[in-house]
Amino acid sequence: MDNQSADNRPMSEHVIVDGVITTNTVVHLADDDSLPSDGVVTVSLPRWQQQRDELVQRGDCGVRLAGADDVGDAVGDLAHFILVAVEFPAFTDGRGYSHARLLRTRHSYNGELRAVGDVGQDQLFPMQRCGFNAFELKPGLNAERALQGLEGFSLSYQPAADRDLPLFRSVQR
Q: Give me the residue spans of the domains in the chain.
A: 14-170
Question: Right CATH number for 14-170 from 3.40.50.1100, 3.20.20.70, 3.30.420.40, 3.40.50.11540?
Answer: 3.20.20.70
- Could you tell me the end-to-end alpha-carbon distance of the chain, in angstroms, rounded to an integer? 50
- Could you report the per-residue pLDDT of 37-88, keeping only the tens digit for each? 889 999 999 999 999 999 999 989 999 999 999 999 999 999 999 999 999 9
Residue 129 main-chain phi, psi, to 5 deg: -60, -30
Q: Are strands 20-23 and 14-17 parallel, antiparallel or unpaired?
A: antiparallel
* pLDDT category of residue 148 using cuts at 50, 70 and 90: confident
Q: How many helices (H) and strands (E) does the chain have?
A: 6, 8
CA gap 28, 63 in Å, rounded = 9
Predicted confidence (pLDDT) at residue 149 exceeds the cutoff of 80: no
Query: What is the model's pTM?
Result: 0.82
